Amino acid sequence: MAAVALAYEQFDSLPDEDCAARIQAAKAKLGKRVVILGHHYQRDEVFRHADFSGDSLKLSRLAASSNADYIVFCGVHFMAEVADILSRPRQVSILPDLSAGCSMADMANLANVERAWKELATLFDPDARVTPITYINSAADLKAFCGRHGGLVCTSTNARHVLERAYQHRDKVLFFPDQHLGRNTAYQMGMSPEDMAVWDFTRPMGGLTRHQIEKAKIILWKGFCSVHQMFRPEHIDAFRTRHPEGKVISHPECSFEVCRKSDYVGSTEFIIKTITESAPGSRWLVGTELNLVNRLRERFREDGKIVQFMSPTVCMCSTMFRIDPPHLLWTLENLASGRVVNRIRVPEDEAAQARVALQRMLDISP
């Protein structure tokens, strides 16, 4: 590869229409050597260029099954890591803007999780009693931690299956980084709030007593998605007052109170499928990221379906929004010139352990 990449500053101020034309030209030049992945939460002016769209795990699996040399992930950092872990050695995973992270994923880091594990070890042997489960929205080193300690990765689609598998082997689960997905899933399985404890990673022993830890079936990391915390129970109450015939559907990263008031709770793929299969003329209040909701609104407008965003305040995934047309163009034109920029590479020893936790999930997923 050539040593000197094209400078991003050459692309920063290009109008979207110019970027779009040059992106198409670069894609045409690269042909089947490149595959572009667009997460459901991605902005439309980038999403339109995606070869595949979906949630993070679906996209990584699609990319790994392709013959492309380059996987350009228009998502956030942990997604590009998963693509690198699951892809073949010759495939290169790329994130157009390295600042596209995930604030929820950042709420659980390896140092804090290892400290929690050591603190649990002062009470009992966690490797004998606790299954660590990390949401796929987490760093590769946390997936590797789960691989080392008999744990698994989960998605918002298969979290229940993963938890059920965990309880077949050990009596407790440490679930990170999103407390809400863990709580909502555990509740659907019949657990009560008394079966759950929230581990505050800023405090010794998570701020919990020995009794609380011993009693808990699931220990929930004190993490959350800032986008999904914008939705409130009163938003649903107001919607039902105005539109009693309407339906409410929410992502399980929303709060317990929002999910309990919703008619349906599920992943982005579940939300899309449910609204797609609904009757013409139906009305929906949707509790998930704005770009996806807007896309659904336009897609089903001709069917007479009304799709509304739950929050009166605009809230989108601001870190994913950092992937813009100039960054995508910069990435592709460098590739077309024989240069790789912003490669995401997980160290092989870490990737191997993470792959173990991912494979445990894949083995039991429906």
Whether pLDDT at 261 is above 70:
yes
pLDDT for 119 equals 98
Task: Tell me what the mean pLDDT of segment 222-241 comes to.
Answer: 95
Q: Which of 121, 141, 140 is nearest to 130 (CA)?
A: 121
pLDDT for 315 equals 64
Instruction: Please count the other Cβ atoms lying within 10 Å of the Cβ belonging to residue 244.
Output: 7
Q: Which of 202, 199, 205, 203 is nearest to 119 (CA)?
A: 205
| pLDDT tens column, 288-310 | 999 999 999 999 999 999 999 99
Instruction: Please count the other Cβ atoms lying within 10 Å of the Cβ belonging to residue 302.
Output: 8
Task: Tell me what the mean pLDDT of segment 138-162 comes to.
Answer: 96
Task: Tell me what the mean pLDDT of segment 156-174 comes to.
Answer: 96
Q: Which of 332, 254, 335, 361 is nearest to 20 (CA)?
A: 332
Q: Coil, helix or strand for 335? A: helix
Domains detected in the chain: 8-101+319-346 (3.40.50.10800), 105-225 (3.40.50), 228-309 (3.40.50.10800)
Task: Tell me what the mean pLDDT of segment 103-125 comes to.
Answer: 96
Does a cis peptide bond (omega within 30 degrees of 0) precede residue 177?
yes
Could you give the CA distance from residue 76 to residue 172 in angstroms, rounded to a whole number?
Answer: 30
- Give the pLDDT band of residue 313 (cuts 50, 70, 90): confident
Write down the mean pLDDT value for the chain: 93
Q: What secondary structure letter does DSSP report for 35?
A: E
pLDDT for 1 equals 44
| pLDDT tens column, 15-62 | 888 999 999 999 999 999 999 999 888 889 999 999 998 887 788 778
Could you give the CA distance from residue 229 to residue 232 in angstroms, rounded to a whole number?
Answer: 7
- Integer CA distances (angstroms), 26 to 5, 30, 35, 59, 328, in order: 15, 6, 12, 21, 10
pLDDT for 243 equals 97
Contact at 8 Å (CB) between 173 and 167? yes
Percent of the chain with pLDDT over 70: 98
pLDDT for 91 equals 94
Residue with tokens 């670069």: 26
| pLDDT tens column, 240-258 | 999 999 999 999 999 999 9
Task: Tell me what the mean pLDDT of segment 67-93 comes to.
Answer: 93
Span of 164-168, 208-212, 223-227, 281-285 with lowest mean pLDDT: 223-227
Whether pLDDT at 318 is above 70:
no
pLDDT for 66 equals 83
